[in-house]
Amino acid sequence: MPLIRNRAAHVRRAVVTGGAGFLGSHLCGKLLEEGVEVLCLDNFLTGTPRNVEHLLSEPGFRCLRYDVTDFVHVSGPVDLVLHLASPASPVDYLRFPVETLNVGSIGTWHALGLAREKQARFLLASTSEVYGDPQVHPQPESYWGHVNPVGPRGVYDEAKRYAEAMTTAYRTARGVDTAIVRIFNTFGPRMRPDDGRAVPTFVRQALAGEPITVTGDGLQTRSVCYVDDLVRGILALALSGEPGPVNIGNPHEMTVARIAEDVIRACGSSSTVRFVDRPVDDPQVRRPDTALARERLGWEPRVSWEDGLARTVAWFRDALAAPAGPELTVVR
């Protein structure tokens, strides 16, 4: 049975902020597949219209150039607000620190206001970064985290922590039906090759035959989840009555060095590994405790690392070889 019609037949129209980003575009596509009309709002600071180019001809899809830190007004009924707007990679939020803080605070406030006005279910896309460099492993939702608020990563970590607090306040004090998902490392098609995260960086370097730049000694760990699994988990939470926070991510933990080796192999590359300085406040370990997602949502990842990596490499191979097309036009 289709996911939406099986769980929430009343969801007819959804607003996705940050809908032209990597993850947002996949969510828009899945909602449309399930018969939900989608309004995508994005200022294209880090997202791109090309991520939703294949959706622009769909009768139930509309994409607007929109900055949710200015205001949010949507005409007509809305049943679901998915708030994903934010720079999400270190390269981006270090380049746009104030914008990152603003969208986590003002943007979340505006998106919650829209949900309250429309009496819609609201989902905040939070992050495993709220756990910082964790001292508890794996990380359950009950762990409060170990974050440096004045470090270079603090603008993103604290923006999301503040957004969680505001979302909770709107639930308890304003009666808004809210949920919080804590997203762990995700990979798949439509990631930018230059966004600085490990998998797209390694794939780009391997396909070009360049050295794979692994930070530190490569023994730090990550748990990476294929985007289709993550989207399924986000929508399972959005269409449930759970408030969260709920971790969604793959509990299979690997060293960064292992990830680099697997990428080289999947690309059939002759690249070698080059170790470089590790960023400040880079987490040593990262693995979700997903017991709550299994128990409350019936969710667990299905796509293996090897299968997801093969799909991702195939997409990058085609995308990097394709000539740049003309600038796409969206509704302003």
Helix then strand then coil, % of the chain, to nearest 5? 40, 20, 40
How many residues comprise the chain?
332
* β-pair type (186-187, 225-226): parallel
Query: Do 281 and 132 meet the contact criterion of CB atoms below 8 Å apart?
Result: yes
> In angstroms, rounded to a whole number, what is the distance separating the alpha carbons of residues 120 and 324?
39
Q: Which of 156, 162, 170, 226 is catalytic?
A: 156
**Whole-angstrom Cα distance, residue 160 to residue 124?**
9
In the block, tokens 């803080």 appear at: 101
**Kind of pairing between the strands at 221-223 and 253-255:** antiparallel
Residue 270: Cβ within 10 Å count: 8
156 is catalytic: yes
Question: Could you give the CA distance from residue 259 to residue 202 in angstroms, rounded to a whole number?
Answer: 9
Token pair belonging to 227: 């985007």
Bridge partners (DSSP) listed for residue 132: 146
Q: List the 80-83 sheet strands across, edge first.
A: 61-65, 37-42, 13-17, 80-83, 121-127, 178-183, 246-248
Q: Name the residue with tokens 């530190």.
A: 216
Nearest in space to 330 (alpha carbons), one of 22, 55, 11:
55
Residue 150 has φ and ψ, to the nearest 5°, of -110, 10
Contact status, residue 32 vs residue 55, Cβ threshold 8 Å: yes
Cis peptide before 90 (omega within 30 of 0): no
Determine the residue type at 61: F
Distance in angstroms (rounded) separating the CA atoms of residues 213 and 158: 28
Give the residue numbers annotated as catalytic, written as ranges: 156
